[in-house]
Amino acid sequence: MKCQYCNCTESRVLDSRPADDGNSIRRRRVCANCGKRFTTYEKIEMQQILVIKKDQSRELFDPRKVRQGIIAACHKRPVSAADIEKLVTEVEQLAANSLQEEITTRRIGEMVMDGLRRLDEVAYIRFASVYRQFTDIPSFMNELKKLISDKQEAN
């Protein structure tokens, strides 16, 4: 860090704590040359992930879109806002941890469905019916049978 008073590049950290926004670290420093104190903020730079849509166009990953889809699926279901946020964060982290610069909407949808399956089966079916575009009752019933079978195997 460069001292704002004398431009010396040597400083010592006196105190570190999370900043008020919770997304950065506030560091109180003292300059090794002039002895003056100053504050710096350190923030993790997130990798920008591009989402490949069905039409092969690309746009930046937007966790708000993931959140909107999950909220719609969980409408009038006993799923807390904290659980929704946890799932959004989980999907965002899985996408970032894939170490890929691009991810398909299909992969994002699968991650959301995996999370919803654990949270609430009805929300899962709602999301899957829109995501997988069920066009008839047999395809919907196949998904329900698969869910029931997976649940029986788990028990």
Q: What is the chain's percent helix, strand, coil content, to nearest 5?
A: 45, 20, 35
Cα separation, 130 vs 133, whole angstroms: 5
Q: State if pTM tops 0.75.
A: no
Q: Is 69 exposed, middle or buried (0-12, 13-18, 19+ CB in 10 A)?
A: buried
Q: Where are the domains of the chain?
A: 11-43, 50-154
Of residues 112 and 129, which shows the higher confidence score?
112
User: Is residue 84 a contact partner of residue 70, using CB atoms and an 8 Å limit?
Assistant: yes
Q: Is 49:100 a contact under the CB 8 Å cutoff?
A: yes
Half-sphere exposure in the Cβ direction for 56 (13 Å, CA): 0
pLDDT digits (tens, 9 = 90+) for 6-63: 999 999 999 999 877 667 899 999 999 999 999 998 877 667 889 999 899 999 999 9
Q: Which amino acid is present at 19?
A: A
